Structures are given as C-alpha cells and as structure tokens.
Amino acid sequence: MFSIVLCILLCFVFNFWWKRKCYDPHGPPIHPGALPIIGNAHQFLGDGLKLWKFLKELSYFSLKCGGVSTVYLGPLHRIYIVTDPDDCLTLSNACLDKPFIYDIVKEWANNGLITADVSIWKPHRKLLNPMFNQKILHENLEIFNSQARRLVEQMSVELEKGKFATHKYIVSNSQETVCQIILNLTSDTFDDVIKGYSKATQDLLDVFIAKSQKLWLHIPFIFKRSSYKKKLDRSIEITTAILNRVIQNQKAELKKSNFTVNANRAVTFLDLMLTVQETQGSFTDDDIREHLDQLAFTAFDTTTETLTFGLKLIGSNERVQQRIYEELKEVLGDTNADVSRYDLPQLVYLDAVVREILRTYSTVPFAARKILKDIKLKNYTLRANSIGAISVFGIHRHPIWGADVEEFRPERWLEPSLAFNDNPSLFAAFSLGKRNCIGKWYAMISIKTTLAHLLRHYRLYADDKKMTVKFDVSIRAIAGHEISLERR
C-alpha cells in the first residue's frame, strides 16, 4: 500500500515539476497533444510516412502561431519550431552549435562540416569556402555534361515502355559524378572503387534511416548490440580504407608535380584540400577524409532526391516542360551541345524551375541548432539549454509567398514583386546564415546540367498528385514517383 501511495505521490510531484518547467509566459505556444512527462514524444513515433506528416503539422502550427512554436521530447528536451524567415536567420547566426539530434551520424561524420564543433568548424569552413566557388565548379562542367549524357543513354532503355522508377538510374549516375569531381576517381576505377564506396555509402544511409525511425537505437547500450552497429562499423571501415588509399595516391601524384594539377584534367576538391594541407599545414589526413566523406555523401543524396522530385514535377506540368525546352533550344541550339559556363546564366527559366523544385520539395526540411543562451526573436524569447529547429518546409510555406504557396509555379521566381527579392531568407533550401550548405553551387550546376540534357532528348509524362513522400534522414518519394519517356 505504501509503495502505491509513494508512486502516486512521485508521479504527482514529477507532473507538477514538468508543468512548471514547460510554463514560460514569454515563450511560444506548445504544439497540441503534449502529455505530462513525455511531452510530444509519442507524436514522433511511427514510420517515415507518419513522421513526415507530423513534421509538416509542426510547421503549419508554427506558422499559425506567428512563426514559432514549442514541442517537448520528454521532460529534458525543449525544441522550438521556427518558421518565420527573419527569426530563422537570427537563430542560424546566433547559434552555430549542433544538438544531440545529429548524433545519428556523429560516429561516422565525426569532425566533418555537418557535425563538427564550432571550434573546428569555423577555421575549416574558412579554408573550404574558396574551393566551392563557381569558378572551380565551372572547371568540372565537362564531367557534369558527360555524366548527364550518360544518364540520357542509360534511360533510353525505358523509352515508350510505360512508367518506370528513375531513382535507380539517378543514384548510380550521381554517385559516379560525385566520385569524379570530389574524389578524382576516373572511369578506370569505377568497378573496383566506386562500386565498393557506393555500396558502403548506401549501407551507411540504411543505418542512419533506421536510427531516425527507431528511437530505441539512440540508447547506446541497445545500439551497440544491434545488427545496425555491425553494419555501421563495417561500412565505416570500407569507406575509410578506400578514402585513405585515394588520398595517399593523389598526394603522391601531386608531389611529383610540385602540387600542380595536370592541365589535362579539372581540379578536384581533393586536389585543393591536399594543396592547402601542403602549403598551410591546416588539414590532417583524417580531416580531409572526413570532409570528403561528408561532401560526397550529402552531394549524392541531396542531388539524387531533388532530381527524382524534379522529373516528377516537370513531367506533371506540360506548360513548364515546354517552356524549358524552348529556352534550351534558344540558348543551346544543337541538341548535343554541352552546357557551358556562359550558357548557365542565360538559362533563366530553368534556374527558376530548379529553385521552385527545391522550394516545393526541400530534401532537408529541417536544420537544428543548440541554444546556449537566451535568443530574442521578434515576438518570443528562446530559452537557453534548448534546441532551435529551423523549418525549411515552413519557411517555404510562409504566407508571404502568396495564396498559391502550395503550388509548383516556377514563374513566381521571375516576377519583380517576388517577396524573395526583398528577403533572401525566404529561400532556405541550402539552410541559412553562416553555417549554411557549402555545396549550393555544386547542387545547382549538377541539377541544371542534368535537366538540360534530359529535356532536350525526352518528353516526360507523370502525375505528381499520386506521389507519396516519407522522412528519414531527408525526404524521399517512395511511391507514385514513376515517369514515362518519349523521344523528342
């Protein structure tokens, strides 16, 4: 009897403490459905479909509350959902540390740009920024073009056969592109290195997806004894061995030429990192490997999913597709011509289409920051020792975009009155602030070049209304994303 009374009393005291902890007269509203002690944790449970539905609900509720709302993961973790563009920029620049949420990939990513502590991230980002400018990427346009042609050829087997899933073609093509531009792996090494690296990368992704959906895997004791831990260790061992070999081989080649890249090939990111290591002593081999691993992984994953969504959206909008085709004919002329550095700025409508794809389906719909001190926003104060979740999905659904915010309409990017012209924070597909995505120009050039080649050769047919999307590490189309092709 005494034990029962004691349990009831403890529950009462804990519940009272939890309510006092959650109460903040100057804080944003708590998302509906929060329960005593566990908060909103139960609403995050379920598969990727359910999770994506709930994450969208969080964003819409935040928008209704003026751009900020609150959720609780148990009694210890308070998360602010921020959707106001100005507040998101304030949060992004004031808080650069990453919270525990990123621990899903920390064992693999370690000190790469995504997960590194600020003390490491800041000097490394400063060194890496010059490597990702448009000039460097333009030097690799020959690879972007040849890979786009390769994709056109690979997809030709599906001509007039009805609907098919594009993902398998885009995945392998994107991996090959990444391996050439970032790692300097040529076609001679595709079979023995790229395939091995690609397989290990896919296994890593499977582990990250499992950890994002199965909350019990976040408990170290359980994860260490699971099959996923073995899979993670094996994949890390493979990618580490491959990248170490690539780094040493490339370092030896550059030393022979006194760190001058052969004029017959483009400069890769690996070349640039090794040159900085040699001239400034700023990177260790482990630093280079971790940066390369993260860059290759994120570049492959985000461009793959964006192209999958993009082909579906374009194939569902004949008017948009025809306008892209007419612009391509006007700018490029010959259907087999390469896309040059001078052509890219002239493909104005295609650029608008790519931006609208990224606005409609941002593959990374949330970014999170650790709040170490109180942050004053326009209407609320975010308390220290909390997490700030920047909802990219919410920013891209903000009412300022107009009544047609849910529609795929590339023309909005060409209108002088577009609110984005006055507030760049309205477009957050590559995150916001100082710790934004370093690979923005890689993604834009890769996607535009690929679409330019595909749409000059094929007419696409699709129905985006039948597409089903889930969330794990990023958002992915898992059903209804098939298209069909017809040669132009």
Measured in Å, how far apart are the chain's first and last C-alpha atoms? Answer: 81
Q: For residues 435 and 114, what is the distance between their CA atoms, to the nearest angstrom?
A: 9
Provide Rg for the chain, Cα atoms: 24
Which amino acid belongs to residue 464? D
The tokens describing 267, both together, are 């400069």
Surface-to-core class of residue 438, CB atoms within 10 Å of its CB (0-12 exposed, 13-18 middle, 19+ buried): buried
164 neighbors 461 (Cβ within 8 angstroms): no
Measured CA to CA, the distance from residue 465 to residue 472 in angstroms comes to 21
Q: Are 51 and 44 in contact (CB under 8 A)?
A: yes
As a whole number of angstroms, the distance between CA 96 and CA 117 comes to 9
Q: Residue 22, annotated ligand binder?
A: no
Looking up tokens 């612009």 gives 327
Distance CA 303, CA 167 (A): 11
Binding residues: 437
Binding residues for heme: 437
